[in-house]
């Protein structure tokens, strides 16, 4: 990076932000850390618990199961949303009125609040009054997301795909638009197949934005709470209890502040770690290639 | 390889062009000889890239037909036309190696195995990249990438023509020399028909057998470099070719004498009475600074190494004069025009000594 | 007004972009930075402007140390290769923008904008938006904005590189006159030797982050201190020939042996590199004092008034630039002739041993 000429006055400009971040992020986080090493039996009396909660959390089968469900969920939605988003981006019109119309249409799901999305799908899928539920029942398909775990999973996955594929598609579209026309012309002249154009021109040029899309979708899906909670409430049974749903149950449902705090910290570290791994693996590949 | 014929070709970006002003390219009828090297030279927006894109099939002409040999290719897609093109900014497949880049057009046509391998290696040797076949294309310098673009075009045996769209724009001066001469050597060796679009006169003149000078969607002259230099058909050619361009002076021509505000100038031939706006054109190379002749006032002398450019005023007109390296400029400078090198123009077009006006 | 660099250097992540440079630029001077892409022209300009902090050394403005000072506090104007204007403002507003920031009065702004616009031939376009102008006019607008600021230091980073050849030629002819009038320190980066010569003033040759030579442009061109400067400041590239001096004879790489003439005759025995420009290499034996070399034609390029004849001499590629149209068949044997007065002699370390006599006399 370039070293800019030093000017210490700049620090004063940043101060308000630093204070704000400290107040809104650092202080609550410290509270959580505080809770995670103490126990309480109510009455605001706390006892030192050391690393007990961390040990319990790491060995708790309930949390293990939630963790596995979470990994499964994130993997499935990434496996669907990324290719689907790229596919949509490739087929979107490049200019004219239709391009703008497409962009607006694609942006719509992104503008809807999380809990509204959950409510829409919760009603949409109901067998008694929902359009989807009634239609499927009418077709003779036995679908009921409140009873059948597989139906519940399909519902929340389809919902997430509906909600978030646009984001991947828009990012990929931006990446595609930055490719100069000359590349496509050269490919025509070389008689490259559609697949070769994608593999050797579009994919390499989209790589940067796709990396961002994957990271965003991964982090976001790993922390997902509102939508599945509104639809299934984690059920039937615990079948759709993802990590964050489990965490809220523990902290607010059972009021186990200590374990929940320890859980939160581990959760946070896992996301941080996985994101870091994702990022380094994908950029290291890049660096290696350009070095050769 | 084939002769390329443009028959009544014109293009307008508007759906219903009304007058000549609406055309990006005005009607052109021309034959590009098989195996010759052509340059399309003109300023930005003169229609040269439009013409190139129609030959390559990237743009469908609104009027006229294009033939490769006897085949009408007007409605054919780019891929079917078997042409190669090198673009202004280097286009390489970043993730592939140099070898894979060169082999790519062959693979797409189903050519594989030893024949393809031998061809790729031969082309790599021709463009001087045979020692870097396994390097990734993305890390290469701009000139190396342009060589690959060229190699990718030549790797096919059956290309009808190789088209160049300002290929040296992003290349450093020293590398320009190398690439240009390499290109010329390849042309001589393999005899592809080559069409080279540029705004740079040095590139156009040194590369081409014939240069097509265009302005405002119109071809103003097609000729060899020497013809364009010595007998520009239009004042635009005189201005655009040469550095600095031709000096133009309003004049009255009577027989073999031209009268300009500063005095009288002898011409190389006699002209009949001319109508319209009459000018004489003389290149800076053909004005001599001497002790006699027409008096000039020197404003500035630019030493550009192998010669000097003298910016001077001749009566009320600014003129440029070129003097050789080391030449002395007298204290009271006067100039003399070489009569044989003076061209006479009426309404912008050159008038031959017989009185006949030229037109493109 | 002077700008002084005192052994200024720049290292980025262990990689030296600029080796220590010491340079003094004075008021009203045009200073050309000439060198190929990545030779450090832009890095050096950024250091001069204060956009980057040097790793070592000091930068003085009129004797005052400004090394740590921000670019906003320095009075610098810069023009880039890309045409950079405010797209939503008219040409007038674009040119006026530095004056508004400086808080000038309305009549004064109008007067100075009008003057700069007239200089740059933009007067009829003042009310238009930059994107409605041609490339040449857009760059004139950017130049006008740099001029009107009355900055002590004006940096121009290949300002004409994106323009058509002819437009470039016209603006290049106008620029020196405009700058003489303005009286600031001008620094102009280019890759083209021809451009440096047309601009005149002083030239600094850059090569791999080092200034190889700095001085009046014509002097650097005619008296290059080493082979690198000679190579950078020659277009078409300078021709080189390895020679071994033995008494009154010169052994050439090709096995040929010739009489040592001119500056070569007075050298002590040893190995040298002779350099000469293409315009001094001919194909006609114009006198007995010329050196004659056997060569083979590789290719000829014709510009209409001149011909570039590329020849091979014992594995070296030379270019001869001759007057008139001379189409020579490739592969033909063609002796080439050189006046010893035009030969520069470099040592094996590339330092100049003897300058060409014609240049010393000039």
Mean pLDDT of B71-89: 88
Cα–Cα distance measured from residue C313 to residue C258, given in angstroms and rounded to the nearest whole number: 14
Q: Within this chain, do residues B262 and B212 fall inside the same structural domain, yes or no?
A: no
- How does DSSP assign C6-51, residue by residue? EEEEEEETTEEEEEEEEEEEETT-EEEEE--TTSSHHHHHHHHHTS
Final residue of a domain: which of C166, C201, C231? C231
Name the residue in chain A with its Cα closest to that of C51: A4
Query: In the structure encoding, which two tokens stand for residue B244, read together?
Result: 């600095």
Task: Please report whether residue B240 resides in a domain.
Answer: no
Task: Please report whether residue B359 resides in a domain.
Answer: no
pLDDT value, residue A5: 53
Chain A nearest-CA distance from B106, in A, is 8
CATH number at residue B311: 2.40.50.140
Q: In which element (H, E) is residue C312 found?
A: strand C306-313
pLDDT value, residue A219: 85
- The parent domain of residue C221 ranges over 2-231
Chain C nearest-CA distance from B246, in A, is 12
Q: How sure is the predictor about C195, in pLDDT bands with cuts at 50, 70 and 90?
A: very high
With an 8 Å Cβ cutoff, are B84 and A291 in contact? no
Q: How sure is the predictor about C308, in pLDDT bands with cuts at 50, 70 and 90?
A: very high
Chain A nearest-CA distance from C21, in A, is 18
Q: Within this chain, do residues C210 and C272 fall inside the same structural domain, yes or no?
A: no
Q: Give the range among A46-50, A95-99, A219-223 with minimum mean pLDDT.
A: A46-50
- The parent domain of residue B64 ranges over 4-230
CATH number at residue B160: 3.40.50.300
Chain B nearest-CA distance from C33, in A, is 15
Chain B: residues touching C (Cβ < 8 Å): 43-44, 142, 172-174, 177, 180-181, 184-185, 188, 199-202, 205-207, 225-230, 239-245, 283, 285, 300, 302-306, 309, 311, 325-326
| Chain A environment of B78 (Cβ under 8 Å) | 185, 188-189
Domains in chain C, number? 2
Task: Identify from A5, A9, A287 which residue to disrupt to test chain C contact, counting C C-beta atoms within 10 A and taking the largest count.
Answer: A5
| Chain B environment of C203 (Cβ under 8 Å) | none
Q: Within this chain, do residues C201 and C278 fall inside the same structural domain, yes or no?
A: no
Q: Within this chain, do residues B198 and B274 fall inside the same structural domain, yes or no?
A: no
- Residue C140 pLDDT > 80, yes or no? yes
Write down the mean pLDDT value for chain C: 88
- Residue B16 pLDDT > 90, yes or no? no
Task: Please report whether residue B211 resides in a domain.
Answer: yes
**Partner chains of B (3+ C-beta pairs under 8 Å):** A, C
Sheet with C316-323, side-by-side order of all strands: C296-302, C306-313, C316-323
Chain B nearest-CA distance from A187, in A, is 9
pLDDT value, residue A1: 41
Query: In the structure encoding, which two tokens stand for residue C280, read together?
Result: 């001094």
Q: Within this chain, do residues B207 and B284 fall inside the same structural domain, yes or no?
A: no
Mean pLDDT of C14-43: 90
Cα angle B53, B56, B62 (rounded to 5 degrees) comes to: 55
CATH number at residue C192: 3.40.50.300
Q: Within this chain, do residues C340 and C311 fall inside the same structural domain, yes or no?
A: yes
pLDDT value, residue C26: 87
Q: Within this chain, do residues C159 and C19 fall inside the same structural domain, yes or no?
A: yes
pLDDT value, residue C66: 86
Name the residue in chain A with its Cα closest to that of C69: A5
Cα distances (Å, whole numbers) of residue A252 to A211, A249, A257, A259, C303: 35, 6, 8, 12, 85
Q: Give the range among A68-82, A85-99, B20-34, C166-180 with minimum mean pLDDT.
A: C166-180
Chain A nearest-CA distance from C346, in A, is 37
**Partner chains of A (3+ C-beta pairs under 8 Å):** B, C
- Residue C34 pLDDT > 50, yes or no? yes
pLDDT value, residue A286: 63
With an 8 Å Cβ cutoff, are C68 and A3 in contact? no
Q: Which of C164, C167, C302 sits opposite B226 (nearest CB)?
A: C302
With an 8 Å Cβ cutoff, are C303 and B303 in contact? no
Name the residue in chain A with its Cα closest to that of C11: A2
pLDDT value, residue C362: 64
Task: Please report whether residue B52 resides in a domain.
Answer: yes
Q: Within this chain, do residues B29 and B107 fall inside the same structural domain, yes or no?
A: yes
pLDDT value, residue A265: 85
pLDDT value, residue A285: 65
Cα distances (Å, whole numbers) of residue B8 to B25, B29, B55, C132: 11, 5, 13, 32
- Residue C320 pLDDT > 90, yes or no? yes
pLDDT value, residue A292: 39
pLDDT value, residue A288: 58
pLDDT value, residue A4: 52
pLDDT value, residue B205: 92
| Chain B environment of C235 (Cβ under 8 Å) | 173-174, 177
Q: Which of B181, B201, B239 sits opposite C299 (nearest CB)?
A: B181
Q: Which of C169, C191, C302 sits opposite B243 (nearest CB)?
A: C169
Contacts of C123 (CB under 8 A, 6+ apart): C114, C117
| Chain B environment of C307 (Cβ under 8 Å) | none
| Chain C environment of B180 (Cβ under 8 Å) | 301
Q: Which of A186, A191, A200 sits opposite B96 (nearest CB)?
A: A200
Q: Within this chain, do residues C265 and C226 fall inside the same structural domain, yes or no?
A: no
Name the residue in chain C with its Cα closest to that of A2: C52
Q: Within this chain, do residues B294 and B214 fall inside the same structural domain, yes or no?
A: no
Domains in chain B, number? 2
Cα–Cα distance measured from residue A44 to residue A40, given in angstroms and rounded to the nearest whole number: 7
Task: Please report whether residue B170 resides in a domain.
Answer: yes
pLDDT value, residue A2: 45
Task: Identify from C11, C43, C49, C52 which residue to disrupt to test chain A contact, counting A C-beta atoms within 10 A and taking the largest count.
Answer: C52
Q: How sure is the predictor about B247, in pLDDT bands with cuts at 50, 70 and 90?
A: very high
Task: Identify from B88, B91, B107 which residue to disrupt to test chain A contact, counting A C-beta atoms within 10 A and taking the largest count.
Answer: B91
CATH for A62-291? 1.10.3720.10
Beta-bridge mates of residue B308:
B303, B323
With an 8 Å Cβ cutoff, are A4 and C68 in contact? no
With an 8 Å Cβ cutoff, are B91 and A186 in contact? yes
CB B46 within 8 A of CB B198: no
- Tell me, yes or no, if B237 comes closer than 8 A to chain A by beta carbon: no
- Residue B336 pLDDT > 90, yes or no? yes
pLDDT value, residue A289: 53
With an 8 Å Cβ cutoff, are B44 and C166 in contact? no
Q: Which of residues 211-240 of A touch B (CB under 8 A)?
A: none
Query: In the structure encoding, which two tokens stand for residue B76, read together?
Result: 């054919």
Number of A/B CB contacts below 8 angstroms equals 60
Q: What is the pLDDT of residues A30-45, one digit of tens each?
A: 888 877 777 766 666 7
Final residue of a domain: which of C172, C198, C231? C231
Write down the mean pLDDT value for chain B: 89
Q: How sure is the predictor about B129, in pLDDT bands with cuts at 50, 70 and 90?
A: confident
Mean pLDDT of C87-112: 90
Per-residue burial over B208-222, b if 16 or more Cβ lie within 10 Å, else e, is: bebbbbbbbbbbbbb
Of residues A252 and A196, the one with the higher pLDDT is A196
Mean pLDDT of C245-267: 81
Task: Identify from B80, B95, B100, B158 which residue to disrupt to test chain A contact, counting A C-beta atoms within 10 A and taking the largest count.
Answer: B95
Chain B nearest-CA distance from A76, in A, is 28
Q: Which of A190, A201, A290 sits opposite B108 (nearest CB)?
A: A190
What is the distance, to the nearest Å, from the Cα of residue A25 to the centroid of all Cα atoms in its chain?
20
Instruction: Note the helical H segments in B95-172.
Output: 98-108, 113-126, 142-154
Chain A nearest-CA distance from B102, in A, is 10
Q: Which of B173, B185, B239 sits opposite C299 (nearest CB)?
A: B185
Chain A nearest-CA distance from C185, in A, is 22
With an 8 Å Cβ cutoff, are A2 and C51 in contact? yes
Burial class (CB in 10 A: 0-12, 13-18, 19+), C77: buried
pLDDT value, residue C334: 92
Chain B nearest-CA distance from A284, in A, is 15
Chain A: residues touching C (Cβ < 8 Å): 2-7
Instruction: Note the helical H segments in A92-148.
Output: 97-111, 114-124, 131-138
Q: Within this chain, do residues B156 and B264 fall inside the same structural domain, yes or no?
A: no
Q: Within this chain, do residues C99 and C176 fall inside the same structural domain, yes or no?
A: yes
Name the residue in chain A with its Cα closest to that of C15: A1
Domain residue ranges of chain A, discontinuous segments joined by +: 62-291
- Residue C263 pLDDT > 50, yes or no? yes
Tell whether omega for the bond before C236 is within 30 degrees of 0, i.e. cis.
yes
Q: What is the pLDDT of residues A144-175, one digit of tens each?
A: 777 888 888 888 888 889 989 999 999 999 99
Q: Within this chain, do residues B212 and B258 fall inside the same structural domain, yes or no?
A: no
- Residue C327 pLDDT > 70, yes or no? yes
Mean pLDDT of C245-272: 83
Cα–Cα distance measured from residue B231 to residue B242, given in angstroms and rounded to the nearest whole number: 12
With an 8 Å Cβ cutoff, are B79 and A189 in contact? yes
Number of A/C CB contacts below 8 angstroms equals 22
Cα angle A158, A160, A165 (rounded to 5 degrees) comes to: 100
- Residue A278 pLDDT > 90, yes or no? no
Write down the mean pLDDT value for chain A: 82
What is the distance, to the nearest Å, from the Cα of residue A99 to the centroid of all Cα atoms in its chain?
27
């Amino acid at each position: 990076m370039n070293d800019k000429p030093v000017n210490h006055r700049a620090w004063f400009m940043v101060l308000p932000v630093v204070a704000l971040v400290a107040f809104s992020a650092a202080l609550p986080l410290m509270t959580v850390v505080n809770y995670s090493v103490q126990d309480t039996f109510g009455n605001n009396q706390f006892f030192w618990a050391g690393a007990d909660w961390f040990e319990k959390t790491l060995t708790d089968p309930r949390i293990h199961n939630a963790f596995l469900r979470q990994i499964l969920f994130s993997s499935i939605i990434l496996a669907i949303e990324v290719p689907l988003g790229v596919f949509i981006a490739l087929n979107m019109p490049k200019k004219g009125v239709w391009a703008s119309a497409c962009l607006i249409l694609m942006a719509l799901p992104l503008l809807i609040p999380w809990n509204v999305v959950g409510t829409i799908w919760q009603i949409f899928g109901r067998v008694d009054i929902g359009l989807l539920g009634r239609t499927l029942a009418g077709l003779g398909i036995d679908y009921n997301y409140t009873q059948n775990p597989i139906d519940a999973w399909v519902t929340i996955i389809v919902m997430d795909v509906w909600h978030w594929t646009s984001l991947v598609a828009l990012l990929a579209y931006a990446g595609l638009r930055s490719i100069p026309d000359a590349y496509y012309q050269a490919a025509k002249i070389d008689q490259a197949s559609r697949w070769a154009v994608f593999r050797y021109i579009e994919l390499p040029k989209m790589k940067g934005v796709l990396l961002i899309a994957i990271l965003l979708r991964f982090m976001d899906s790993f922390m997902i709470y509102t939508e599945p909670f509104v639809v299934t409430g984690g059920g039937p049974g615990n079948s759709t209890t993802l990590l964050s749903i489990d965490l809220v149950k523990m902290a607010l449902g059972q009021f186990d502040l200590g374990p929940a705090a320890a859980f939160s910290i581990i959760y946070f570290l896992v996301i941080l770690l996985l994101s870091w791994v994702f990022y380094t693996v994908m950029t290291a590949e890049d660096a290696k290639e350009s070095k050769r | 390889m084939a002769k390329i014929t443009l028959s009544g070709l014109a293009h307008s970006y508007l759906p219903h062009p009304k007058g000549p002003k609406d055309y990006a390219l005005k009607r052109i009828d021309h034959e590009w000889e098989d195996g010759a090297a052509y340059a399309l030279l003109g300023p930005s927006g003169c229609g040269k890239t439009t013409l190139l894109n129609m030959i390559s099939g990237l743009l469908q002409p609104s009027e006229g037909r294009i033939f490769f040999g006897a085949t009408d290719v007007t409605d054919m897609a780019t891929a079917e036309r078997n042409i190669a093109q090198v673009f202004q900014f280097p286009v390489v497949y970043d993730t592939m190696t140099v070898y894979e880049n060169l082999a790519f057009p062959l693979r797409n046509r189903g050519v594989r195995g030893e024949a393809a391998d031998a061809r790729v290696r031969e082309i790599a040797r021709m463009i001087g990249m045979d020692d870097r076949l396994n390097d990734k294309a993305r890390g290469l310098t701009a000139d190396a990438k342009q060589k690959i673009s060229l190699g990718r075009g030549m790797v096919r045996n059956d290309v009808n023509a190789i088209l160049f769209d300002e290929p040296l724009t992003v290349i450093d001066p020293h590398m320009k020399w190398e690439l240009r001469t390499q290109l010329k050597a390849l042309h001589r060796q393999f005899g592809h028909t080559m069409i080279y679009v540029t705004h740079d006169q040095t590139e156009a003149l040194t590369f081409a057998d014939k240069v097509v000078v265009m302005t405002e969607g119109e071809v103003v002259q097609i000729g060899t470099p020497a013809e364009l230099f010595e007998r520009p058909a239009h004042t635009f050619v005189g201005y655009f070719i040469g550095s600095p361009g031709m000096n133009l002076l309003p004049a009255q021509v009577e027989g073999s004498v031209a009268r300009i505000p500063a005095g009288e100038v002898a011409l190389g031939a006699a002209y009949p009475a001319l109508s319209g706006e009459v000018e004489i054109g003389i290149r800076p190379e053909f004005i001599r600074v001497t002790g006699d002749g027409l008096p000039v006032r020197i404003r500035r002398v630019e030493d550009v190494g192998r010669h000097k450019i003298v910016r001077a005023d001749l009566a009320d007109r600014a003129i440029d004069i070129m003097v050789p390296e080391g030449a002395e400029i007298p204290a009271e400078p006067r100039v003399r025009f070489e009569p044989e090198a003076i061209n006479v123009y009426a309404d912008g077009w050159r008038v031959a000594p017989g009185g006949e006006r030229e037109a493109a | 007004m002077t700008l002084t660099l005192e052994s200024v250097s720049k290292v980025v992540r262990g990689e030296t972009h600029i080796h220590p440079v010491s340079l003094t630029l004075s008021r009203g001077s045009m200073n050309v930075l000439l060198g190929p892409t990545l030779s450090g022209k832009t890095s050096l300009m950024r250091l001069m402007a204060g956009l980057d902090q040097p790793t070592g050394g000091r930068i003085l403005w009129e004797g005052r140390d400004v090394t740590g000072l921000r670019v906003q506090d320095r009075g610098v104007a810069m023009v880039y290769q890309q045409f950079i204007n405010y797209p939503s403002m008219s040409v007038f507003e674009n040119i006026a923008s530095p004056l508004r920031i400086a808080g000038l009065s309305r009549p004064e702004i109008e007067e100075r904008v009008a003057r700069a616009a007239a200089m740059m031939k933009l007067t009829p376009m003042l009310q238009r938006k930059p994107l409605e102008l041609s490339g040449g006019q857009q760059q004139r607008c950017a130049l006008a904005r740099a001029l009107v600021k009355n900055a002590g230091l004006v940096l121009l980073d290949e300002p004409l590189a994106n323009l058509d050849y002819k437009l470039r030629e016209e603006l290049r002819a106008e620029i020196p006159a405009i700058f003489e009038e303005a009286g600031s320190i001008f620094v102009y980066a280019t890759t083209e030797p021809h451009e440096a010569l047309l601009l005149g003033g002083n030239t600094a040759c850059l090569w791999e982050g080092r200034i190889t030579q700095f001085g009046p442009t014509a002097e650097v061109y005619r008296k290059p201190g080493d082979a690198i400067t000679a190579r950078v400041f020659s277009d078409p590239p300078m021709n080189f020939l390895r020679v071994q001096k033995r008494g009154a004879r010169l052994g050439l790489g090709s096995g040929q042996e010739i009489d040592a003439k001119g500056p070569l005759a007075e050298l002590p025995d040893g190995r040298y590199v002779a350099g000469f420009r293409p315009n001094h290499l001919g194909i006609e034996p114009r006198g007995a004092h010329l050196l004659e070399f056997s060569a083979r034609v590789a290719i000829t390029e014709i510009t209409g008034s001149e011909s570039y004849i590329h020849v091979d001499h014992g594995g070296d590629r030379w270019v001869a630039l001759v007057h008139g149209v001379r189409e020579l068949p490739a592969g033909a044997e063609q002796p080439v002739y050189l006046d010893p007065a035009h030969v520069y002699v470099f040592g094996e370390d590339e330092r100049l041993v003897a300058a060409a006599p014609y240049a010393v006399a000039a």
